[in-house]
Each structure stands twice: as structure tokens, then as C-alpha cells.
Amino acid sequence: MPTSLCAGDIVSKIAYALDKNETIKKKYENIDGIVAAVHTEGCGCNDGEIIERLMRTLKNTITHPNVGGALVVNLGCEKTNYKVVSEYFHGLSSCKKPIDYVSIQKVGGTRNAFETGKDVILARLNEVNPAAQKLLILSIILSVLENKDCQ
């Protein structure tokens, strides 16, 4: 997932390259997709509520039960750079999911970030594959939504 719009294109390319790979799909049967959670925030936006909402959304995406791990890619100069994001995600180690970071500027540009990102994800697939998907029962979710005490 990108930390900003600026990193979204490279994240999309990494996910597409790996997700279309039939060898990966056959070898890692529990992994049903490698996706890019792109967005339009994180660079050139106001501080405060917008950044907080973005950080919360990224964090909630990572902690979703059906997400096995995350590669967080930043450009390096945006407001939501590695330092900011890694501090915000600090408590996520309790999720027991791999969370890796790649900085486009630090690794020498988009081509290197593309290759590094692919390598990082490929190295984590054995770790992520054993995780089973969680079945969420709709009736339980609906009953919680209907419970006025939870609002």
C-alpha cells in the first residue's frame, strides 16, 4: 500500500505483476490475491484530520482479518513518509502480520522500488500462505448493526 498518491503507481505495478503470476497462485493456494490499496492522499494535503483519517484507514486495512501482510511504499518526501507511518503503525506488531517498508527515493528510484517491492513480497509469501481466511457471519454483523446500545 502506498503512503501517498505519489507512490500509488509503483504499488499498483508491483501488485499487478505478482497477482497475474500463475506460478504464485498455484504455489500459494491460501493467497487469493495481491492487491494495491491505492488512494489520493498523503502528499500536498493539509495536516491534521486528513492525515489522521488516512493513517487510520491504512492501519485498519492492514489489521483486517483477511489481509495477510503489507508492503508499505513511500516516496520519501511526503507528509506521510516512512518515519511518520512507521511510528503510527508501531503497535501493529501484535497483529503478527509481516509489515515491510520500501522508500522509493532511498532505494534509488521507481525501477529499484519495483524490484525491491516484488522481492520483499515474494520473500513473505511462505510466511503468509498458512494463514486461513476468516469467515465473517453476516447475521452476527447485522445483529450488531441493529443493536442501538452499540452506537
Q: What is the pLDDT of residues 101-147, one digit of tens each?
A: 999 999 999 999 999 999 999 999 999 998 766 666 665 555 454 54
Specify whether the CB–CB gap between 67 and 31 falls below 8 A.
no
Q: Report the alpha-carbon angle 40-16-122, nearest 5.
A: 110
Q: How far apart are CA 30 and CA 16, in angstroms?
A: 18
Q: Which of 130-139's residues contact partners 24+ apart within 8 Å by CB, and which partners?
A: 130/30, 131/30, 131/68, 132/30, 133/30, 133/32, 133/65, 133/66, 134/65, 134/66, 136/65
The C-alpha atoms of residue 101 and residue 96 are separated, in whole angstroms, by 16
Q: Which of 15-19, 25-29, 40-44, 63-67 has the highest mean pLDDT?
A: 15-19
pTM: 0.83
Specify the residue for cell string 520519501. Answer: 76
**Could you tell me the three cell numbers for 96?**
503478527
Q: What is the pLDDT of residue 136?
A: 62
Q: Which of 23-32, 78-87, 120-129 has the lowest mean pLDDT?
A: 78-87
Whole-angstrom CA distances from 83 to 15, 39, 105 are 23, 19, 14
CB atoms within 10 A of CB 131: 16
pLDDT at residue 150, as a whole number: 36
